[in-house]
């Protein structure tokens, strides 16, 4: 569970705790809308409590699935400077994906909406701000993955996992590089610091001294949601540079999530019910943090829109308009099921994912099986003769 804002006990003096109300409490979500008290600081320090572990067992391939992933990673590297065409001109207003007309109507036409009085130009500006915010958060999340994967190299006791994690460190550096370059050169700079929901989660993952929690927090939760978000943006944008950039990043991310699934399957088979419950609670709190960050609190502040009112109105959105919010969990839920976390113990995590309306994804394909299908980089390079 995250350390900054502990989740209340399931039992309170008032009876059984209402997790659905907790998940959808606008005060809890809005309290985190101030993303950074010191926006001028370039350095953020997190205490890392984990031990660095050497292993003197060098038997490559003892964990065949991880060895296969490592070999795939070595042949799927790409160069952000030579494999992407940075000469492409980008109009920030043309990058935007076509909006769902029903969702736009919900925010624009309802007189109770905080966005009801926005002009056409302000709606266009909102789209550009939202795109800059989204890509900025992707970039910050990729730096979190860079640090977490470096920590996995240090802390995982298996040589096959150390080998693969080292390739992911390179991947994450490349992802930070290309998102930063796209924002700097094509979208008028990096305007948004890390969202507090995301930053809090990254800090908690890095502070935990258990190596499997680094896997769970980063490889399953953060990377799983990122893979779904990248896929959604890749399908909806027509801007050629961003579309290719996202496709390349997705091919890496699929391997990263598979790395978590393949590694934790072995570990979680040996844990007690109490230890698994700890992981279930961590996964649920991480899911809330990841969902809450997509409510774009910093964008509303910049646009002069009341953050709490916007959070409340977003939470009240009809279920049939929540396509994007739900699809964000299309990778997380089946991967948690593959790990046995959904139904461990009394099925606590299944109940919590039901509370936040994402349990319907449990039978979607898990990333441990689909990463090869998403490895488009190797296919593209083969077709190009590179």
**Structural contact between residues 100 and 106, judged by C-beta atoms closer than 8 angstroms:** no
Reference 202, options 223, 227, 179, 182; nearest CA is 223
Q: What is the pLDDT of residues 136-193, one digit of tens each?
A: 999 999 999 999 999 999 999 999 999 999 999 999 999 999 999 999 999 989 999 9
Cβ-Cβ contacts under 8 Å for 116 (sequence gap 6 or more): 107, 108, 109, 110
68, two tokens: 């296969």
Give, as one character, the DSSP assignment of residue 179: H
59, two tokens: 């038997």
Q: Counting beta carbons within 10 angstroms of the beta carbon of residue 75, is it exposed (0 to 12), middle (13 to 18) or buried (19 or more)?
A: exposed
Q: How many CB atoms lie within 10 A of CB 271?
A: 16
pTM confidence score: 0.90
Q: What is the pLDDT of residues 15-53, one digit of tens each?
A: 467 888 888 888 878 765 454 555 567 888 999 989 999
Q: Could you give phi then psi for residue 313, rounded to 5 degrees?
A: -70, -35
Assess if CATH 1.10.620.20 describes domain 63-383: yes
Q: 35: left (phi > 0), else alpha (psi -120 to 50), else beta?
A: alpha
**Structural contact between residues 336 and 342, judged by C-beta atoms closer than 8 angstroms:** yes
Task: Measure the N-to-C terminal CA separation of the chain; round to a whole number of Å.
Answer: 45
Q: What is the pLDDT of residues 318-370, one digit of tens each?
A: 888 777 777 888 889 999 999 999 999 999 999 999 998 899 999 987 765 66
Task: Give the chain's count of helices (H) and strands (E).
Answer: 18, 2
Reference 141, options 43, 54, 225; nearest CA is 225
**Structural contact between residues 201 and 217, judged by C-beta atoms closer than 8 angstroms:** yes
Where in the chain are the domains? 63-383
Coil, helix or strand for 63?
Answer: coil
């Amino acid at each position: 569970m995250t350390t900054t804002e502990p989740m209340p006990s399931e039992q309170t003096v008032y009876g059984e705790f209402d997790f659905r109300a907790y998940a959808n409490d606008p005060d809890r979500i809005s309290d985190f809308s101030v993303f950074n008290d010191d926006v001028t600081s370039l350095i953020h320090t997190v205490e890392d409590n984990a031990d660095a572990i050497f292993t003197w067992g060098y038997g490559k391939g003892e964990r065949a699935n991880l060895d296969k992933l490592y070999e795939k990673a070595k042949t799927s590297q790409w160069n952000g400077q030579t494999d992407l065409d940075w000469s492409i001109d980008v109009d920030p207003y043309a990058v935007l994906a076509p909006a769902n007309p029903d969702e736009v109507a919900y925010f624009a036409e309802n007189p109770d909406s905080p966005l009801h009085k926005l002009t056409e130009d302000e709606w266009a500006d909102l789209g550009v701000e939202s795109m800059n915010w989204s890509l900025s958060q992707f970039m910050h999340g990729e730096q979190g993955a860079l640090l977490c994967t470096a920590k996995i190299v240090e802390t995982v006791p298996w040589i096959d996992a150390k080998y693969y994690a080292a390739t992911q460190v390179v991947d994450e550096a490349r992802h930070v590089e290309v998102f930063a370059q796209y924002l700097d050169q094509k979208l008028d700079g990096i305007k948004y610091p890390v969202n507090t929901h995301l930053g809090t989660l990254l800090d908690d993952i890095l502070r935990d001294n258990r190596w499997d929690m680094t896997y769970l927090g980063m490889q399953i939760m953060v990377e799983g949601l990122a893979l779904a978000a990248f896929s959604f943006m890749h399908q909806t944008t027509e801007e050629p540079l961003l579309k290719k950039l996202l496709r390349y990043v997705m091919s890496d991310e699929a391997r990263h999530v598979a790395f978590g699934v393949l590694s934790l399957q072995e570990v979680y088979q040996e844990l007690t019910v109490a230890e698994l419950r700890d992981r279930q609670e961590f996964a649920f709190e991480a899911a809330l943090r990841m969902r809450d960050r997509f409510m774009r609190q910093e964008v509303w502040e910049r646009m002069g829109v009341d953050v709490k009112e916007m959070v409340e109105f977003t939470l009240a959105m009809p279920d049939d308009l929540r396509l994007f919010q739900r699809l964000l969990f299309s990778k997380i839920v089946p991967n948690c099921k593959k790990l046995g976390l959904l139904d461990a113990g009394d099925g606590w995590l299944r109940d919590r994912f039901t509370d936040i309306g994402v349990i319907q994804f449990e039978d979607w394909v898990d990333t441990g099986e689909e990463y090869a299908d998403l490895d488009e980089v190797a296919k593209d390079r083969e077709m190009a003769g590179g």
